[in-house]
Structure 1
Amino acid sequence: MNKKNNKLAITLSILFTSLLSVTNAQHKEYYPDPDTAIQRRLEEWKDLKFGLLMHWGTYSQWGIVESWSICPEDLGWATGARKPGVADNYVDYVKAYEKLQTTFNPTKFNPERWAAAAKDAGMKYMVFTTKHHDGFNMFDTKYSDYKVTDKATPFSSNPRSNITKEVFNAFRKENLWIGAYFSKPDWHTDYYWWKKFPASDRNPSYSVQKYPEQWKKFTDFTHNQINELVSDYGKVDILWLDGGWVRKKTDEEVKADMFEIYEGSRWARNPQSQDINMPELVKKVRAKQPKIIVVDRAVPGEQQNYLTPEQHIPENGLPYPWETCMTMANSWSYVPNDQYKPTNELIEKLVDIVSKGGNYLLNIGPSPEGEFDPVAYDRLKEIGVWMKLNGNAIYGTRMYKLFGEGENIRFTQSKDGRTLNIFLFNYPDGNVHIKNVSFNAKTTVKLIGSNQKLKWKSGAEGVDISLPASLKPVTDHVWVLQVQL
């Protein structure tokens, strides 16, 4: 490895370690919503287990990471995300990026096919990007012309141009819960990146304290757009807010914030509070949607009804409601010829997450034409085959007294504790030994997909269950033993 590459590797390693440390710290803070109706709604959400996340916007035309290529921070994963050959300087690049609005025309957009595939895969809820950090609105907002329904966007002439409404309606017809992703930061509006000053990082381009009237405009703008989503788009079950740096900060937190340098790259921390009055926002939202779950990501407080580790499965789970959001391929947004995870890996991740008490939100990025990659459809179909057989061991279950044994055995249990599900990532050669469970004289064991009662023997060091080789073809992936205790 040459010195340049070695330096970059060290930088990224330090950055990842720092981000993971921050993420882990955030995961240790949880403040339950005092509303018992929301607590009950969270229990219903925990029963769903499996959902679909979709990152889609004008950036799909360039096949690049969503939004971040217009972030002016000197970081490899921001500057490195830029489309090569577009412009020699940042200002011209942003202009070219924003001009993508004038060519966005996903004529093959068919949300009914997405919804049918998600339902067939066993997904029970969805989250769709109504607006990402770049500020391009995938819904018909009244507060911005930078939107899919504006006359500058070719797709605006299509009868299905209000993409968010079409997506919500399609998934709602398949009885999936509806989730609205919404970015709190907006890098297009003058209320956030005020053109009076150049943007230097992901944060406001001005001092919130010095120009409170400008920040008040941004707060009102944010509240108004979210009000549209909960007023004009039918029942919304989850409001999934991204951009955790837009948050209220105490004086102590402001003083602690600073710019940090990692091997010559500037990692921006904004030393000011970005308070958009979340308590008031949630109050207004629930006046329209009383049971809506609010997820103010990475911001500890009552407005973060569940936590969302990203591209990461907590080693031992978390002691409160949580959901791992993770990409099916490598990128959140569409990238041509992206590499999709094998079906077996996706199912094992689902089982691992559920065994630890979490939900799995799996992301697919639609193409600029409005299609899923054929490989994504294949993966959903194959997951669906497995879920149709084994879904009872997933849905509505809760964490057992421990999530598993070693790398290849996981557990879930029914809410009443009478049924134990044992997931085997590898089919055993003859017997499987389970250390941390105890059976009684009335216990019966079956492999899901077979009516044959399995022989078992209990001893001082656990239980041995006999699994005939003839039962292996029941599934191609994870095998599930259902134990009636």
Structure 2
Amino acid sequence: MINPVNQTIKSLFKATALTTSLLTCALSSSALAKEYEPTWESLDSRETPQWFGEAKFGIFIHWGLYSVPAFSTRGSYSEWYWHAKDGDQSGKHAAATSRSTDVNEFHNKHYGKDVEYADFRKDFKAELFEPAHWAKVFKRSGAKYVVLTSKHHDGYTLFPSKEASESFGMHWNSVDSGPKRDLTGDLTNAVRDEGLKMGLYYSIWDWFNPYWPEAEQPTTGPKRKANLPQEGREKYINEVMYPQFKQIVNDYEPAVIFSDGDWWMDDDKWQTKPMLAWLYNNAPNKDEVVINDRWGKVRGKHGGYMTTEYGSGFEDPSILWEENRGIGKSFGLNRIETYDDYNSSQLLTFMLVDIVSRGGNFLLDIGPTADGRIPVIMEDRLIEVGKWLEVNGEAIYGTKRWDTDAQWSAGKRIEYTKADFHHGVPDPIFEMSIMPRPGQSVKELYFTRKGDTLFAFMPKWPGDKLTVKNVKLSKGSTITMLGSDKAINWQQKGNNIEVDLSSFGINDVTNVYMNTLKITKAKAVK
């Protein structure tokens, strides 16, 4: 018979031993956990969480007070409305762009000279904002993550911020003015309910924040109020930037932090390295959070991933990068834009494939209206891209760059500028694939891979025969087309594969934009 007293004592000893063991493991794990220092050497030693490089496609959102006028010179950024209206004219301010005559004429005609940018708060109501609907659209687009402008350069926050209001001397957030709503929190919850990652854009610079020293303020536009302290940049960083940054991290746990507004001062003046060390060491989701490279003149050099906007990304396979751009020519909604300013669903699909084939992510921006709607033309573009991804997503998500990103035809390769990618007609992506100039080399195929499975995207239908160059297959290799059950015959001819597509008729091709071949057990020929 078991003595119950002895059994109880033994149980207690076992429980104590287990507790001690777990405590020891926890202490050991804690001791081994890396503490990041406020140096780029330490910060860059952190491996960017794997989810980001596998996600490939995200949605950017520019939404704020600038969504009320929703206007800029055609082809420029409408979210810069306040700066275009009241910004620097002298050319002395390193961060400034010149004032826009078009924007001032528009403002004076439609709102009046006496109407200030701050007066737009009463019209930024977001009364039709349905975060659940937005999140469902993003889900249907095939995007894996979303990034919202929680604060743009105007300093107005879409979350409750006493620092914003105290520094500007007025209600300067969406909870105390305008919508009277935590737009960041509401959208964060809805996006996560759809199973997507939620990120936040945060501008470390406020154009006209009164805490800035006079020497670093634009020479025109809103001036510092006399009753506000004038200690300068340190006051802004310590009493606005740092607290706001920590607030959005602790309150919303963003999976991505897209910093901006950094370019005119170096990282020492911005004091961003201590802030990032705090993030890596203390964020509630520190194993998930990803940062970009906009922390003070370090773009393309330091950060979790590198960014380009209205450009073409990077060609270096070793770089983790993301291209971001609007569906039109502006990030924020610009009401002057027409149908011709908006990229077609076909072009956006081509952009996605081109970017992913070169190892990048695509962050595609929308500009909602002041009343809280995603313009229907933007919804249409997102959902059409999503339809293509339903069939071809296997060749996008979780893929890596093949030995080469594309198979080029004979001809001249043209070097394009950022301006070409922003305003080119036809767009360089089309010129390099289906609408070449005379004698221009084109990308006959785009490539991605998963292990030894090669995906070959066909920008246009090649006809009955397709040659995939510098690829060798082995016994048991198969070639199929995503979205089709038809078997595809092939032959190895030297270092190339001859693919027979003669059995495919018009009703067998499921994708009007671009079709994808899945080639298993493939090996690149050097």
Q: So what's the TM-score if we normalise by structure 2?
A: 0.72
**Could you tell me which residue of structure 2 aligns to residue 269 of structure 1?**
none
**Could you tell me which residue of structure 1 aligns to residue 183 of structure 2?**
163
Residue 393 (structure 1) aligned with residue 398 (structure 2): no
Separation in 1, partners of 2:118, 2:230: 27
Q: Is the 8 A contact 1:422 1:480 kept in 2?
A: yes
> Could you report, residue by residue, the CA deviation over 1:292-348 in whole angstroms, capped at 9, with x for unpaired residues?
222242525885211111111136355211000011122111122543211111111
- What letter is aligned with 2:370? P
Separation in 2, partners of 1:479, 1:133: 41
| Cα offset, 1:116, TM superposition | 0.7
**Could you tell me which residue of structure 2 aligns to residue 149 of structure 1?**
174
Q: Is the 8 A contact 2:213 2:233 kept in 1?
A: no
Residue 47 (structure 1) aligned with residue 54 (structure 2): yes
**Could you tell me which residue of structure 2 aligns to residue 15 of structure 1?**
none
Higher mean C-alpha displacement, 292-301 vs 455-464: 292-301
| Cα offset, 1:437, TM superposition | 1.5
1:480 to 511, 516, 526: 516
Distance 1:33 1:387, change over 3 A: farther
**1:477 alignment partner, SS class:** coil
1:424 to 458, 462, 468: 458
1:241 to 253, 259, 266: 259
| Cα offset, 1:77, TM superposition | 7.1
- What letter is aligned with 1:310? E
**Could you tell me which residue of structure 2 aligns to residue 17 of structure 1?**
none
- What letter is aligned with 1:131? K
**2:88 alignment partner, SS class:** coil
Q: Is the 8 A contact 1:325 1:363 kept in 2?
A: yes
Q: Is the 8 A contact 1:33 1:303 kept in 2?
A: no
| Cα offset, 1:188, TM superposition | 3.2
**Could you tell me which residue of structure 2 aligns to residue 332 of structure 1?**
331
**1:408 alignment partner, SS class:** strand
> Could you report, residue by residue, the CA deviation over 1:251-293 in whole angstroms, capped at 9, with x for unpaired residues?
xxxxxxxxxxxxxxxxxxxxxxx61321210122231232322
Identity rate, percent? 26
**Could you tell me which residue of structure 2 aligns to residue 258 of structure 1?**
none
Separation in 2, partners of 1:404, 1:101: 48
**Could you tell me which residue of structure 2 aligns to residue 347 of structure 1?**
349
> Could you report, residue by residue, the CA deviation over 1:46-81 in whole angstroms, capped at 9, with x for unpaired residues?
000000000111111111211242432468875256
**2:164 alignment partner, SS class:** coil
Residue 79 (structure 1) aligned with residue 83 (structure 2): no
**2:492 alignment partner, SS class:** strand
Separation in 1, partners of 2:104, 2:473: 59
Distance 1:236 1:315, change over 3 A: closer
**Could you tell me which residue of structure 2 aligns to residue 266 of structure 1?**
none
- What letter is aligned with 2:100? T
**Could you tell me which residue of structure 1 aligns to residue 283 of structure 2?**
288
Counterparts of 1:6-405 in structure 2, within 5 Å, are 38-39=46-47, 41=49, 43-64=50-71, 65-67=78-80, 68-69=83-84, 70-73=86-89, 78-79=99-100, 82-87=103-108, 96-145=116-165, 146-149=171-174, 151=176, 153-156=177-180, 161-192=181-212, 194=214, 199-200=218-219, 213-220=231-238, 221-233=240-252, 235-248=253-266, 275-286=269-280, 287-289=282-284, 290-291=286-287, 292-297=289-294, 299-300=298-299, 304-314=303-313, 316-336=315-335, 337-338=337-338, 339-405=341-407
| Cα offset, 1:475, TM superposition | 1.4
Separation in 1, partners of 2:114, 2:197: 35
Q: So what's the TM-score if we normalise by structure 1?
A: 0.78
Q: Is the 8 A contact 1:135 1:189 kept in 2?
A: yes
Q: Is the 8 A contact 1:184 1:246 kept in 2?
A: no
Distance 1:219 1:296, change over 3 A: farther
Residue 408 (structure 1) aligned with residue 407 (structure 2): no
Separation in 1, partners of 2:479, 2:133: 38
Distance 1:77 1:236, change over 3 A: same
| Cα offset, 1:119, TM superposition | 0.9
**Could you tell me which residue of structure 1 aligns to residue 9 of structure 2?**
none
| Cα offset, 1:39, TM superposition | 1.1
| Cα offset, 1:124, TM superposition | 0.4
* Alignment gaps of 5+ in structure 1: 1-30, 206-210, 250-273
**1:396 alignment partner, SS class:** coil
- What letter is aligned with 2:79? E
- What letter is aligned with 1:343? S
**1:224 alignment partner, SS class:** helix
Q: Is the 8 A contact 1:101 1:148 kept in 2?
A: no
Q: Work out which of the two has the higher radius of gyration on C-alpha atoms and give 1 or 2.
A: 2
Higher mean C-alpha displacement, 439-448 vs 283-292: 283-292
Separation in 2, partners of 1:112, 1:99: 29
Q: Is the 8 A contact 1:55 1:365 kept in 2?
A: yes
Distance 1:84 1:232, change over 3 A: same
* Alignment gaps of 5+ in structure 2: 1-39, 72-77, 166-170, 409-442, 522-526
- What letter is aligned with 1:431? K
Separation in 2, partners of 1:94, 1:141: 27
Separation in 2, partners of 1:394, 1:223: 37
Separation in 2, partners of 1:246, 1:33: 24
> Could you report, residue by residue, the CA deviation over 1:75-110 in whole angstroms, capped at 9, with x for unpaired residues?
88752562534349xxx9696222212322121111
Separation in 1, partners of 2:372, 2:324: 22
**1:140 alignment partner, SS class:** coil
Q: Is the 8 A contact 2:490 2:497 kept in 1?
A: yes
> Could you report, residue by residue, the CA deviation over 1:374-426 in whole angstroms, capped at 9, with x for unpaired residues?
11111122111111111111100100000011223100000xx2210000010
1:444 to 475, 478, 482: 478
Separation in 2, partners of 1:243, 1:94: 28
Distance 1:57 1:83, change over 3 A: farther
Separation in 1, partners of 2:292, 2:314: 22
Q: Is the 8 A contact 1:54 1:128 kept in 2?
A: yes
Q: Is the 8 A contact 2:151 2:203 kept in 1?
A: yes
| Cα offset, 1:363, TM superposition | 0.3
Separation in 2, partners of 1:212, 1:104: 30
**Could you tell me which residue of structure 1 aligns to residue 437 of structure 2?**
none
